[in-house]
Chains A and B, each alone.
Chain A
Amino acid sequence: MKFEIKVEYYPGDTGEFIKVIEENCTGCGDCAKFCTRDVWQPDGAIYRPVNLKDCVECGACWNVCEFDAVIFNEPKGGTGVRFEYG
């Protein structure tokens, strides 16, 4: 079977629920390493959550960041990832 990443999203603007605190980011890249969805991308010496629309809200980036450079909030009510089938 061909592996496929099939993810549904609710319509609507999630807001910027993941952000980088630039002055804390050392550019170590752990956020990007553990992000399964390539949300985090390098930008000069630091990383930014560029592809936030692909985020599935797992929180790995926030958990692995040793420098407290990741702000991980929640998308606006009724928006963001939608896991059918459970």
Chain B
Amino acid sequence: MSNNEYDVVIVGAGCAGPAAAKKAAELGLKVILFEKSQVPGEKNVSGTCLNGAALVDPDLHYLMEGPVEREIREMRTYHINKDRTTVFHEIPSEGLLLLSIRRDHYDAWHVEEAKKAGAEVRLSTTILDIIEEDGYVKGVVTDTGEKFYGKVVIDAAGVNSIVGRKAGLIPKRKGTNMILYVTVCVELGEEVINERFGDCIEYYLSPGIQHKTWPWIFPKKDTVTLGTGGYMDENLLNDEFPNINKYMENYLNLPAVKKKLEGGKIVAWGLHLEYDEKIKQRVKNGLILTGEAGGFVIPFLGEGMVEAYFTGIYAAQAAANAIETNDFSKEKLAETYETLISENLFMQTFRHIAAVNKEAILTKTDEEITQMMQQVIMGGGFISNAVHTNWMNGVEDQDMERIQDAYDFLELMKPYAQVDPYFENLYNERKRK
């Protein structure tokens, strides 16, 4: 192999990219990973809590060794309207639920892990084009015109990835499958956060602070991140909400939120898009789309990072199998990739939960949604809503198939009802001292 020839070329060092690079290097492949920012994670917005229900998968155990800001064990939801404020305090399972992280620190650590495994890394390098020959994606072109060739190219460059777009796999999207999110990071100091938030994430539901999403506050070590937004449909922006920031302004001005943030200052503002449906085609000859580039994100549930880690790792495995047989066709790549995805219990179950809940949310008014959320929360969260919706609709329509679906799903979910204390024990063994 010459200098610019690799087994695997990976674009994007967010979540999926370093995971793919590390795995591919461990499988003995010659790997290069490109990242456009100076520090990995500094082009990323949100994506701040790692889900324990996914980290218990052996493929992801190593991620518990990364820099964690705060261990999350509880969840509070505020349902606020002009007459009253209702607070639901949930401890969905006894023990650790989520790990709160800072993407700039965490992604940078992850890239170092990929390097240790043997991957070559180029930071501050933007990929602007792909090289296609004889119907196969053969490599990428950097912003300085340099060409890099790979037997397999793994696209991990996010929601608007230029690789996936050039390959014709990522279309334009808006309406009810694209969400525009705005975030702010508020510095409060570690002691104040311990006092006001502790190890609890918070969600707020109130008219005028969101458009069919679920505004959140995630505590980190000495800052908290607030996020809100909405589906990019014709009702997102209007005279009352000329700009997405208006939702955030209203959110920050909710008396309950104001009080929680008293004395704090905004240290960062961010904005990003999230696409929440599967990309129709996630492989092409010589190319695999992972993470958000492949539509592996469930913005409604705030779930995207772990799907990216999984798909990055699976893409590396698919690349290794392709290289072993010298067959880089989309059929060969899909064989491994799609099989591993379909066998992943976490991804299948969470996608089901998201689909059922999204259907409910998109067909209701904001007022009805807050009411529904109240029931959802009292009923034990989105999981039970997904089960109940199918079950109740099935009963109503006398549709035994929907009832059976609900029952099967409940069975499928059983392992996740008992994530703890397994996750907590694993984390205590592996976390940095």
Chain A interface residues (CB < 8 Å from chain B): 1-8, 10, 15, 33-34, 36-37, 56-60, 62-65, 72-78, 80-86
- Give A55 Cβ to nearest chain B Cβ, in Å: 10
With contacts A6-B267, A58-B272, A63-B160 taken as known, whether A82 is within 8 angstroms of B42 at the C-beta atoms is yes
For the complex, is B231 an interface residue (Cβ under 8 Å from A)? no
Residues of B contacting A33 in the complex (Cβ-Cβ under 8 angstroms): 237
Nearest 10 A-B pairs (CB), nearest first? A86-B103, A78-B124, A59-B160, A77-B124, A85-B185, A77-B125, A77-B126, A74-B126, A3-B249, A4-B266
Quick check: B245 and A34 within 8 Å, CB to CB? no
**Chain A contact residues: over half helix, strand or loop, or mixed?**
loop
Alpha-carbon gap, A63 to B345, bound state (A): 32
CB of B172 to closest CB in A, whole Å = 5
Task: Indicate whether A36 sits within 8 Å of B38 (C-beta atoms), given known contacts A58-B271, A60-B180.
Answer: no
Contact of A64 among B123, B174, B245 (CB under 8 A): B174
- Which residues of the other chain, A, contact B319 by a CB distance below 8 angstroms? none
Bound complex: CA A73 to CA B128 (Å): 7
Q: Given the interface contacts A1-B186, A59-B273, does A36 sit within 8 Å of B243 by beta carbon?
A: yes
Since A36-B244, A77-B142, A85-B223 are in contact, a sample of 7 more A-B pairs with Cβ atoms closer than 8 Å, ordered by chain A residue number, is A3-B245, A34-B180, A36-B180, A63-B232, A65-B172, A77-B125, A83-B104
Q: Are A83 and B244 in contact (CB under 8 A)?
A: no
Q: Of residues 33 to 79 in B, which have CB atoms within 8 Å of A's CB atoms? A: 36-38, 41-48
Encode contact with A along B159-186: 1 for CB under 8 Å, 0 otherwise: 1101000000000111000101010111
Query: Across the interface, do A5 and B245 meet the contact criterion of CB distance under 8 Å?
Result: yes
B225-A85 in contact (CB<8A): yes
The interface residues of chain B lying within 8 Å CB-to-CB of A6 are 266-269
Instruction: Known contacts A7-B269, A77-B36; decide if A83 and B243 are in contact (CB<8 Å).
Output: no
B270 interface residue, CB < 8 Å from A? yes
* Contact flag A85-B143 (CB < 8 Å), given A1-B186, A63-B174, A77-B125: no
Contact partners of B271 in chain A: CB under 8 A: 36-37, 56, 58
B101 beta carbon closer than 8 Å to chain A: yes
Expressed in whole angstroms, the minimum distance between the Cβ of B249 and any Cβ of chain A is: 5
Chain B: residues with Cβ within 8 Å of the partner, total of 63
CB contacts (< 8 Å) of B104 on chain A: these are: 83-86
- Across-interface contacts of B143 in A (CB, < 8 A): 15, 74, 76-77
Q: Is the CB of A86 within 8 A of B47?
A: yes
14 A-B Cβ contacts within 8 A?
A7-B270, A36-B243, A58-B271, A59-B160, A62-B172, A63-B172, A63-B173, A73-B162, A76-B143, A77-B124, A77-B125, A83-B268, A86-B41, A86-B104
Residues of A within 8 A of B127 (CB): 74
Q: Does B216 have its Cβ within 8 Å of any Cβ on chain A?
A: no
Within 8 A of A (CB), among B265-316: 265-273
Residues of B close to A75: CB separation below 8 A: 36, 126
Nearest neighbor of A15 in chain B, beta-carbon distance: B143
| Per-residue A-contact encoding for B123-141, CB less than 8 Å = 1, 0 else | 1111110000000000000
A81, B43: Cβ atoms closer than 8 Å: yes
Tell me, in angstroms, the Cα distance from A59 to B107 when the chains sit together: 22
Contact B248 A3 (CB under 8 A): yes
Residue from the set B45, B123, B127, B248 with the largest chain A CB neighbour count within 10 Å: B45
User: Within the complex, which residue of A4, A60, A63 is in contact with B269, where a contact is CB–CB below 8 Å?
Assistant: A4
